[in-house]
Amino acid sequence: MKVYCLISVLVGMAWSVPAMGTSVQVQKSDNGFKLVVDGQDFMVKGINWDYYPLGTNYTYSLWEQSEAVIKSVLDKEMTLVKSMGVNTLRMYTGIPKKWIAYIHQNFGIYTMLNHPFGRYGVSLDGEWMANTEYDNPGVKELLLKKTAQLAKEYRDTPGLLLYLLGNENNYGLFWDDTEKKTTPKKDYDSALPARAMYKLFLLSDNKGKSIKEKSENELSVDEKSVIRARSIYELFNEAALAMKALDSQHPIAICNGDLMFIEIIKEECKDIDIFGTNMYRGVSFGDTFQRVREELNKPIIFTEFGADAYNAIEGLEDQESQAYYLAGNWKEIYANVAGIGGSGNSLGGFSYQFSDGWWKVGQTKNLAIHDNTATWNNGGYYRDDKGGVNNMNEEWFGICSKIRSNAQGEYDLLPRAAYFVLRLVHSFSPYDPAATLIELEKHFLKIDIPKAINESKGYSNSLKKMK
């Protein structure tokens, strides 16, 4: 899943934030890895959050609106977010530090600050480079400068949890169309092509040449992608080192697409604190936790995962399936935290996403229409898989649906069944001394999706009465 935005430059606001930043550390023990915030064990129970009024798209920025508008939006939406049991937001650069502090001070919610790291192109010497060349000296200098500035500016911000670099930058090596998605096979080995390509570094072709020995003209498209991938991960690590020199109190993660290029990540990203991944595999992550523990020896955080709330076969909203997939994902995330069992390297995750994105299909047209066009296929979501036919509905991933409230595109939020399921999911405390895999199983047995659907209907009826 991608956030297809032109990321705003950092917007300064006249506001003084006291130097009372949060101290966050990744700690490793015999039980595994933990995130420790101001001395307390902390599991990320997160959500991908943004705000786009109906009729707008990625060009809209909440942070450019009046302070009164920003406060009104945050107070309304963060109340719902907090009630769901969420403790962390994934947010892109562009949010002024003032509002990170505001969200934390008023709602107790932290922010993972995400720099896209050239994912959607860069402006270099006045020219737009749509497909970022990470081995370009000018690009390197630019990205290192911007991420260092980010650490310097935000390091003392109350409520800042960690930094995230990139957003599936590895997929950008293959796709020019921003609406394309990863399509894991049912055996969940979506990284297979990348693993095969990586081996080309070491294995010779039928002419006896390895990738390293070939000239530019001899390289295939896939081989060139492997070379470009290495330059991305080298630069990720260089940026992490520069940021740590400025801010030692906040860990740094990367956002990878699935496990693709994990072999290169192992070699080039030794100074990254957390392996972050956007992963859409259906109800199970498969052997992901084990592979990351064994191959990278790092903790993992799921920066995106989830399911859409639309059934491509029936042509109808499907709240039940969305809740089912999310519950299955979260159960595995809990089962792999340190001290409870599993691989012991799970730090939590960020469900995708808080509210529907009506602009995602087409991105510049039909912005005020909730489009039900499926734009990519994923066999892992078997409940509406039609055998290779597109079944994933980009505009329907919201935990909450949007209901138009006026002509200006302002909207009310209607929590879907997934909202009420996640509220129960997030109430489990994996670091409680009494927490075990047995207790986890008992907790998830309490999840009643039909009841959650009725709760969503009840919320809808209450909204109608208020009108």
pLDDT of residue 175: 54
Whether residue 27 lies inside any domain: the answer is no
Residue-level pLDDT at 65? 96
**Position 204 in a domain:** yes
Supply the angle between the helices 67-83 and 97-107 in degrees, to the nearest 10: 40
What pLDDT score was predicted for residue 214? 56
Instruction: Render pLDDT for 344-361 as a digit per residue (tens, 0 to 9).
Output: 999 999 999 999 999 999
Cβ atoms 243, 163 nearer than 8 A: yes
Asked if the model's pLDDT at residue 113 lies above 60, the reply is yes
- Alpha carbons 266 and 268: distance in angstroms, whole number: 6
Question: Model confidence at 243, in pLDDT bands (50, 70, 90)?
Answer: very high
Question: For residue 169, what pLDDT is reported?
Answer: 93
Q: Does the pLDDT at position 371 exceed 70?
A: yes
Cα–Cα distances (Å) from 324 to 205, 288, 332, 382, 441, in that order, read: 45, 20, 13, 12, 15
> Which range marks the domain in which residue 382 is found?
34-466
Name 172's Cβ contacts closer than 8 Å, sequence gap at least 6.
119, 131, 132
In this predicted structure, what is the pLDDT of residue 172?
A: 81
Asked whether residue 322 is domain-assigned, the answer is yes
Mean pLDDT of 313-331: 97
Mean pLDDT of all residues belonging to the chain = 87
The H or E element containing residue 411 is strand 411-415
Confidence at residue 191, expressed as pLDDT on a 0 to 100 scale? 40
Longest dimension (CA), the chain: 74
- Specify the number of domains making up the chain: 1
d(CA 396, CA 37): 34
Q: What is residue 216's predicted lDDT score, i.e. its pLDDT?
A: 57
DSSP code for 373? -
Structural domain contains residue 3: no
Condensed to tens digits (0 to 9), the pLDDT of residues 177-191 reads: 444 444 333 333 334
Give burial (CB, 10 Å; 0-12/13-18/19+) of 387: exposed
Domain-embedded: residue 238: yes
214, part of any domain: yes
CATH of the domain at 216: 3.20.20.80
> How large is the average pLDDT for residues 151-173?
95
In sign, the C-alpha dihedral spanning 308, 312, 316, 319 is negative
Residue 40 lies in a domain: yes
Residue 277 lies in a domain: yes
Least confident of 22-36, 136-150, 225-239: 225-239
Query: What is the three-class DSSP state of 28?
Result: strand
Phi, psi of 226 (to 5 degrees): -65, -45
pLDDT tens, position by position, 52-94 = 999 999 999 999 999 999 999 999 999 999 999 999 999 999 9
Which amino acid is residue 338, in one-letter code?
A: A
Q: Which residues of 348-384 are buried (b: 16+ CB within 10 A; e: fewer)?
A: bbbbbbbbbbbbbbbbeeebeebbbebbbbbbbbebb
pLDDT of amino acid 408: 76
Among 459, 368, 437, CA closest to 409: 368
DSSP code, position 177: S
Amino acid at 191: A
Give the whole-angstrom CA distance, residue 375 versus residue 362. 10
Residue 223 has pLDDT above 50, yes or no: yes
How would DSSP label each residue in 377-406?
--TT-GGG--SSS--B-GGG--SEEEEE-S
